[in-house]
Amino acid sequence: AQSVAQPEDQVNVAEGNPLTVKCTYSVSGNPYLFWYVQYPNRGLQFLLKYITGDNLVKGSYGFEAEFNKSQTSFHLKKPSALVSDSALYFCAVRVKAAGNKLTFGGGTRVLVKP
Amino acid sequence: DAGVIQSPRHEVTEMGQEVTLRCKPISGHNSLFWYRQTMMRGLELLIYFNNNVPIDDSGMPEDRFSAKMPNASFSTLKIQPSEPRDSAVYFCASTLTGGDSYEQYFGPGTRLTVT
């Protein structure tokens, strides 16, 4: 079975500082990895994905993530956080053999303080 | 593109009543997913459809829950009878399978309160 872990329930960071949200996964087979963001009272918004190729992927709003196969990680990063980045972030994994469904992590709440 | 459309956005009902949630996926997408989000359990996949056919309903909590997709542009999730523990935000998402576009696009959700 596939699973995703987001070890931090909340991450606090000062505006302008680097932001990292951690994600590790466990799958059988090659993973397709995703990050989503959820603002209050909204649906999840797709940020970026890793399917194959370059391990560093860039996405919306200045976010990027690095796929690390040996550490089975896919951490989300932003060099300089904004107050408006405060939201709930979800990591998700898909394995082809499991069909089209995504398995989501428990989410990490990010609070960026001015 | 209008995105995934869900209705109603909010629903308040009494225990025992029937509730029907509606979803219109993005035009051209061929997979549709129903999720439930609560503080206690996080985001749970209830059921998903490929080309209007239910593929995996293992997440449907019990027989009180049912979902249909009569055509490519419409799906419903029905709860009958509803119970207070069904209170949650229900999301619908869609995607186009094939190629490398596996990301799902979510609707704004329906906040259900059962009293």
pLDDT in tens, B2-31: 899 999 999 999 999 999 999 999 999 999
- Chain A residues with beta carbon closer than 8 angstroms to that of B91: 43-44
Residues of chain B neighbouring A32 (CB-CB closer than 8 A):
102
Which tokens hold the place of A25?
A: 């996964």
Question: Considering CB atoms only, which of A34, A42, A52 is closest to B103?
Answer: A34
Long-range (24+ apart) CB contacts under 8 A made by B93-96 are B93/A43, B93/A44, B93/B4, B93/B32, B93/B33, B93/B35, B94/B4, B94/B25, B94/B26, B94/B29, B94/B31, B94/B32, B94/B33, B95/A100, B95/B29, B95/B30, B95/B31, B95/B33, B96/B28, B96/B29, B96/B30, B96/B31
Confidence of residue B1 (pLDDT cuts 50, 70, 90): low
Rounded to a whole number of angstroms, the distance between the first and last alpha carbons of chain A is 41
Going by pLDDT thresholds of 50, 70 and 90, the confidence category of residue A44 is very high
Q: State the amino acid at position B35 in one-letter form.
A: Y
Cα maximum dimension of chain A = 44
Nearest to B104 among A51, A52, A102 (CB): A102
Which of A30, A39, A52, A102 is most worth mutating to test chain B (most B CB atoms within 10 A of its CB)? A102
DSSP helix/strand/coil, A14: strand
- CA of B106 to nearest chain A CA: how many angstroms apart? 6
Which residues of chain A are within 8 Å of residue B109 when distances are taken between CB atoms? 42-43
Q: How many other CB atoms sit within 10 Å of the CB of residue B49?
A: 23
Q: What does the pLDDT look like over A56-111, one tens digit per residue?
A: 999 999 999 999 999 999 999 999 999 999 999 999 998 777 677 889 999 999 99
Q: B38, B88 in Cβ contact below 8 A?
A: yes
